[in-house]
Amino acid sequence: MMHDDADDAESGLNLLTDRFRTYMPVVIDVETGGFNSQTDAILEIAAVILSMDERGILGLEQTYFQRIIPFDGANIEAAALKFTGIDPYHPLRIARSEKQVFQTLFKIVRDAMKANQCRRAILVGHNAHFDLGFVNAASERHKLKRNPFHPFSSFDTASLGGLAFGQTVLARACDAASIEFDDSQAHSARYDAEKTAELFCNIVNKWKDLGGWPLR
């Protein structure tokens, strides 16, 4: 059954706050010095704030990106640096302390939540549990107050990509969704976060186009 976008707008169904039960999806990608969120350094982080237009179409609004100075005593695996291509010791690398970066990130997210009348942020990531683990660890490490993210719920584009396109690898899911993906830019937090955001929006919007939302 086809539905009228104008009717949806009047009923409030095209508001971001109504789409995900007052949760605001924020796409996060971290590039790290290993797999252990408690001991390994966060080297880069990117967050993509999403917005919804009057037709209920989800899209990218802004990206926050920072290189991070490893916290004192952080472990960095050589294999992780080889995988990401990041050199945390490069003399020209411009980076900020982990505490400063997360304080700024949390404020940006809280401001976006307020603007969209959302009560909580929910992390969107590719294999989202990995990114959420590092976000929570950094928040706890610096005893940051008012972490806007739900502590354990998340939206995982690996799972959504498997459902929508039969692909769980980010590059392959993007290809299936006709989203351009440059392998040479992969494993940059900004690039991966923005491609993950494009994939998430594509799937959410496709579900709407197919008549799956709003519920009838």
Per residue in 30-48, pLDDT (tens digit) is: 999 999 999 999 999 999 9
Q: Any long-range contacts for 207-213 (C-beta under 8 Å, 24+ apart)? A: 208/56, 208/57, 211/1, 211/2, 211/3, 213/13, 213/19, 213/56
Active site residue 126: no
pLDDT over 60 at 2, yes or no: no
As a whole number, mean pLDDT of residues 180-208 equals: 97
Q: How confident is residue 216, by pLDDT bands cut at 50, 70 and 90?
A: confident
The average pLDDT across 166-182 equals: 98
If you compute the radius of gyration of the chain from its CA atoms, what whole number of angstroms results?
Answer: 18
Q: Which one of 90, 126, 150, 187 is the catalytic residue? A: 187
Q: Note the pLDDT of residue 190.
A: 98
User: pLDDT (tens digit, 9 = 90+) per residue, 97-155?
Assistant: 999 999 999 999 999 999 999 999 999 999 999 999 999 999 999 999 999 999 999 99
Question: Contact at 8 Å (CB) between 98 and 142?
Answer: yes
Residue 81, classified by CB atoms within 10 Å of its CB into exposed (0-12), middle (13-18) or buried (19+), is middle
Q: Give the pLDDT of residue 195.
A: 98
10 pLDDT band (50/70/90 cuts)?
very low
Q: What is the pTM of this model?
A: 0.93
Q: Which of 205, 165, 197 is nearest to 46 (CA)?
A: 197
3-state SS of the chain is CCCCHHHHHHHCCCCHHHHCCCEEEEEEEEEECCCCCCCECEEEEEEEEEEECCCCCEEEEEEEEEEEECCCCCECCHHHHHHHCCCCCCCCCCCEEHHHHHHHHHHHHHHHHHHCCCCEEEEEECCHHHHHHHHHHHHHHCCCCCCCEEEEEEEEHHHHHHHHHCCCCHHHHHHHCCCCCCHHHCCCHHHHHHHHHHHHHHHHHHHHHCCCCCCC
Mean pLDDT of the chain: 94
